[in-house]
Amino acid sequence: MATSLRLNAGEATGIAGRRLALVLNEKAGALLADASIAETLRSALGGAGVTLTEPPEGPLPGRVETAARDADVVVVAGGDGTVACAAGVLAGTGVALGVVPCGTMNLLAKDLGLPAGDPAAASAIIVAGQTRQIDLGLAAGLPFLCACMIGAPARLGRHREQARRHGWLWQWPRIARAAMFVLFRPRHRRLVLIVDGQAHALRTQSLTITLGAVNDASGHLFGRSRLDSGVLCAYAVRRRSVLDLLRVGWRLALGRARDPALSVFSGREMEVRGGARVLHVMVDGEVQVMPTPVVFSLRPGALKVVAP
């Protein structure tokens, strides 16, 4: 059964008297490394004078759905993949999503101005209760909030997942070796990218589709200054050399989308076709196998999030 706790209200806050649900992804890196984070969140959120509940254990989508039935805000602690999964459940419901970044990259949290590695500070922002509407992306119906990657990044993501099975000590050497393998044994895929009905033939090592444009105005790597632009952006590396791939990757990380080896597209709907029956697509950091063609779409302003 879900646990529930009613705590006395302290000072008046933005969420005092409201109903909050806390969903923890115990497999997230920060939560695995520090078991005290969960208690910090329970204390900080419960001390705001709310009804705090936690759904019973089970698959993440089901836990979020259970949490949303009787909550005004569902607070999720995890990485980008966890947050995207919760977003897919909450979009369009009017229930707000609170984010406590506990993953590796925490790209969405950075775009929202949320502090990573400081659950108490993240809780304080949630307690303030300020909300905003942001877009939700869909990759073959699967929700995403940051980026989907095909080609070299997805290959590296598959190696990373395999390396995790060997434990923390051997994980990073295996990932480093996999990165060298991916870079110096490139695979150039022939893809067709259809943007709002217009087809573009590509021969590329890497195709990245983002929810909104990356730009340096965000102030951090791979950042986006707008999360409600209502557009998808695609970045395809045209040339073949390792140096091209590294240079383009670094420039995109800095939010600079101009490069002679880079093709950039934008639109409201995209479709990727390839010679294979399936494509490996890294969706907000998690590799998925998707039958082709893969359709990417968006729901403008569909998600309410708690953020400054």
Give residue-wise pLDDT tens across range 22-81: 998 866 655 545 668 888 888 888 877 788 899 988 899 999 999 999 899 999 998 898
190 and 244, same structural domain?
A: yes
Check residue 174 and give its pLDDT: 54
Q: What domain count does the chain have?
A: 2
The answer to whether 233 and 173 are in contact (CB under 8 A) is no
Domain boundary, last residue among 76, 105, 129: 129
Cα 302 to Cα 116: distance, rounded to the nearest angstrom: 24
Question: What six digits make up the tokens of 306?
Answer: 């708690």
Q: Which of 105, 129, 153 is the last residue of a domain?
A: 129
Query: What is the CATH number for 182?
Result: 2.60.200.40
- Say how far apart CA 281 and CA 10 lie, in whole Å: 46
Q: What is the CATH number of the domain that holds 42?
A: 3.40.50.10330
Q: Are residues 193 and 288 in the same domain?
A: yes
Residue 9 sits in the same domain as residue 122 = yes
In a domain, 308, yes or no: no
Rg (CA), the chain: 20
Residue-wise pLDDT for 156-214, tens only, equals 655 455 545 545 444 555 545 555 554 556 567 899 999 999 999 999 888 999 999 99
Are residues 152 and 119 part of one domain? no
Q: Give the three-state DSSP class for 275.
A: coil
Chain mean pLDDT for the chain: 82
* Same domain assignment for residues 158 and 98: no
- Give the range of the structural domain holding residue 75, as residue numbers without chain letter: 3-129
For a pLDDT cut of 90, what percent of the chain falls above it?
48
> What is the pLDDT, as a whole number, of residue 187?
67
What is the pLDDT confidence band of residue 220, given thresholds at 50, 70 and 90?
confident
What confidence tier does 290 reach under pLDDT thresholds 50, 70, 90? very high
Would you state the pLDDT for residue 28? 61
Same domain? For 117 and 154 the reply is no
Task: Give the residue from 129, 164, 184 where a domain finishes.
Answer: 129
Q: What integer pLDDT is reported at residue 218 of this predicted model? A: 74
